[in-house]
Amino acid sequence: MSQRLSRFLFIAGVFLTLILVAGTVLASTEPSTVPEAVASGSKTPWWAWPIILLVFTFILGILAVLGGVGGGVLFVPLVGGFFPFHIDFVRGAGLIVALSGALAAGPGLLKRNLANLRLALPVALIASSAAIVGAMIGLALPAKLVNILLGATIIGIVIIMATAKKSDFPVVPKPDGLSQSLGIMGIYREESLGKDVEWNIHRTLPGLLLFIVIGVMAGMFGLGAGWANVPVLNILMGAPLKISVATSKFLLSITDTSAAWIYMNSGAVLPMIVVPSVIGIMLGSIVGVKILARTKPKAIKWLVIGLLLFAGLRALLKGLEIWK
Amino acid sequence: MAQAKTTKATGEQIAYANILNIGMFLGLAIIVVTFIIYMLGILSSFIPPQDIPKYWGMKSKDFIHSMGAPTGWAWLAMVGKGDYLNFIGIALLAGLTILCYLVILPILIRKKDTPYVVIAFIEIAVLTLAASGILKSGGH
């Protein structure tokens, strides 16, 4: 690992820790229930919060790119756990953060034929429909239960990230009938090999059915679902890793759209939380991509996994009222 | 349905990407500009920025009930307020996918790609239903 990366890691870690600690301390002065909320004020100047959020999400955006995860999956548990916002508003913002990132990446991935519309459209229909159901369930559940389920999900994601295998070019002995009839196949230029790679998929039906679960979870917790999309597309359905990652990123722009509308129409979107977060994550992602081009940050993946584990435990303990 | 063996993206994929690209930049530009207007207090707000910390710890349903905040598309009537002005950009970003589907639908119809025409039709219906406000949770 380069010296520059080590320095970056150290600085990012210190910043993140400071913000998390500050967020927790400042959040403890914040109201959480209706009567107190209206009656009491915040001791932190209001204008500090968008700035804290902007800096925090900027660092999160860098780490997300280097750790190979979406911004939403880091945003919801960390902001939900360490900032004074209700989990409803955090999930609403998380969806729009994930949506914005997917919208920004989508055009380039589609034009380079890495995100595949024929693969994405059937999957998106199932995932986006399920995300609506997930969003409605999520908004109806009490915050404590949401935090417990979120914590358990994040810990599950950590296990998937730490153990899931990936295959650059999965073997698909025989494409199944459903994928053939839908014409889900493709060919892309693999620059690392200097040749064109043809691909097909199999196990289409079980794959599509799994996207019901993924969609519900994305809507319920306001997470982007790349952590689940990629293993299903790559390992189960047999799409090449690059196609899976790119199609997954593009998919989020459709899945998260449907859930985002439910949160927005239910009043769970506050611009004061959403806008600094979107800008911070986007700027952080741009910087992250530049750092990624010059380094091989394998260690950052483990930093992100550690961060997620911490955030998952925090959500779980917050829900169980062990760590308020 | 057999697809042409080419590394190039299909026509509908390029059309989708082009609309996404323009809409995404427009949406982001709008949310940045409207947020600056909101923060600087150029327009009066339904809830002034300095008061927001009193409410963001509430469940969204309680927030709506106690403040009489709009749900569904009722924010459109309050777009002259600094806070709800921000919803223009957010709604544009959230609505962009529907627009992209509407753009690729005629291409798919021209290609007589029946399964994907059906998929695109249903997706437009699903997203429009989500956007309509009929399925909102909580509210008045």
Q: Could you state, in order of their start, the residue ranges of all structural domains in chain B?
A: 14-132
Of the pLDDT bands very low, low, confident and very high (cuts 50, 70, 90), residue B138 is low
**pLDDT (0 to 100) of residue A21:** 59
**pLDDT (0 to 100) of residue A35:** 40
Tell me, yes or no, whether A130 lies in a domain: yes
User: How close, in Å, is residue A183 to chain B by CA atoms?
Assistant: 5
pLDDT of B34 higher than 70:
yes
Give the whole-angstrom CA distance, residue A243 versus residue B112. 26
DSSP β-bridge partners for residue A190: A195
- DSSP designation for B57: T
Residue whose structure tokens are 């207007």: B37
Give the whole-angstrom CA distance, residue A58 versus residue B22. 24
Q: Which is higher by pLDDT, A320 or A1? A: A320
Counted residue by residue, chain A has a size of 324
Q: Which is higher by pLDDT, A44 or B118? A: B118
A94 part of contact set with chain B, CB < 8 Å? no
**pLDDT (0 to 100) of residue A17:** 61
Number of domains observed in the structure of chain A: 1
Tell me, yes or no, whether A59 lies in a domain: yes
Name residue A179's amino acid: S
* Range B11-31 average pLDDT: 95
Residue whose structure tokens are 């804290």: A52
Tell me, yes or no, whether A262 lies in a domain: yes
User: How close, in Å, is residue A5 to chain B by CA atoms?
Assistant: 30
pLDDT tens digit sequence for A15-48? 666 666 565 555 554 444 444 444 345 578 889 9
**pLDDT (0 to 100) of residue A13:** 61
Interface contact B58-A113, CB threshold 8 A: no
B44 part of contact set with chain A, CB < 8 Å? no
**pLDDT (0 to 100) of residue B78:** 95
**pLDDT (0 to 100) of residue A172:** 94
**pLDDT (0 to 100) of residue A19:** 63
Interface contact A186-B50, CB threshold 8 A: no
Q: Which is higher by pLDDT, A111 or A297? A: A111
* Range B20-38 average pLDDT: 95
**pLDDT (0 to 100) of residue A263:** 96
What angle, rounded to 10 degrees, do the helices at A3-27 and A298-319 form?
10
Q: Which is higher by pLDDT, B15 or A13? A: B15
B72 part of contact set with chain A, CB < 8 Å? yes
**pLDDT (0 to 100) of residue A68:** 75
Give the whole-angstrom CA distance, residue A154 versus residue A148. 10
CA angle A161, A268, A26 (to 5 degrees): 75
Residue whose structure tokens are 């949506």: A99
pLDDT of A111 higher than 60:
yes
Using CA atoms, how far residue B98 sits from A78, A208, A212, B103, in Å, is 31, 21, 20, 9
Arithmetic mean of pLDDT over chain A: 87
pLDDT tens digit sequence for A302-316? 888 898 999 999 999
Using CA atoms, how far residue B107 sits from B40, B110, B117, in Å, is 45, 5, 9
Asked if residue A313 lies in contact with residue A151, where contact means CB atoms within 8 angstroms, the answer is yes
Q: Which helix (H) or strand (E) holds A282?
A: helix A271-294
**pLDDT (0 to 100) of residue A31:** 44
pLDDT of B22 higher than 50:
yes
Q: Rounded to two decimals, what is the model's pTM?
A: 0.89
Residue A14 belongs to what domain range?
3-319
**pLDDT (0 to 100) of residue A32:** 43
pLDDT of A226 higher than 90:
no
Asked if residue A135 lies in contact with residue A218, where contact means CB atoms within 8 angstroms, the answer is no
Task: Give the residue among B46, B24, B27 at the shortest CA–CA distance from A267.
Answer: B46
Collapsing DSSP states into helix, strand and coil, what is residue B105? helix
**pLDDT (0 to 100) of residue A15:** 63
**pLDDT (0 to 100) of residue B6:** 79
User: How close, in Å, is residue B70 to chain A by CA atoms?
Assistant: 7
Interface of A with B in 139-198 (CB under 8 A): 139-140, 143, 181-183, 185-189, 196, 198
* Range B24-40 average pLDDT: 95
**pLDDT (0 to 100) of residue A65:** 82
Q: Which is higher by pLDDT, A193 or A95? A: A95
**pLDDT (0 to 100) of residue A9:** 60
Interface contact B119-A125, CB threshold 8 A: yes
pLDDT of A210 higher than 90:
yes
Tokens linked to A186: 């493709």
**pLDDT (0 to 100) of residue A149:** 96
Task: Give the residue among A245, A105, A109 at the shortest CA–CA distance from A167.
Answer: A245
- What is the rounded end-to-end Cα distance, in angstroms, of chain B? 48
Supply the Cα-derived Rg of chain A in whole angstroms. Answer: 20
Asked if residue A311 lies in contact with residue A154, where contact means CB atoms within 8 angstroms, the answer is yes
CA–chain centroid gap for A282, Å, is 13
Q: Which helix (H) or strand (E) holds A200?
A: strand A195-200
> Which residues in chain B are contacts of A104 at CB distance < 8 A?
24, 28
pLDDT tens digit sequence for A275-305? 999 999 999 988 887 887 776 667 778 888 8
Tell me, yes or no, whether A160 lies in a domain: yes
Query: Tell me, what's the ipTM?
Result: 0.93
User: Which percentage of chain A shows pLDDT scores above 90?
Assistant: 63
Return the number of other C-beta atoms located less than 10 Å from residue B6's C-beta: 12
* Range B45-64 average pLDDT: 93
User: Which percentage of chain B shows pLDDT scores above 90?
Assistant: 88
In this complex, the residue of A32, A37, A266 whose CB is nearest that of residue B138 is A266
User: Which percentage of chain B shows pLDDT scores above 70?
Assistant: 93
**pLDDT (0 to 100) of residue A224:** 81
Asked if residue A113 lies in contact with residue A198, where contact means CB atoms within 8 angstroms, the answer is no
Mark out the alpha helices in A112-240 (DSSP H runs).
117-140, 143-163, 177-182, 204-221, 226-231
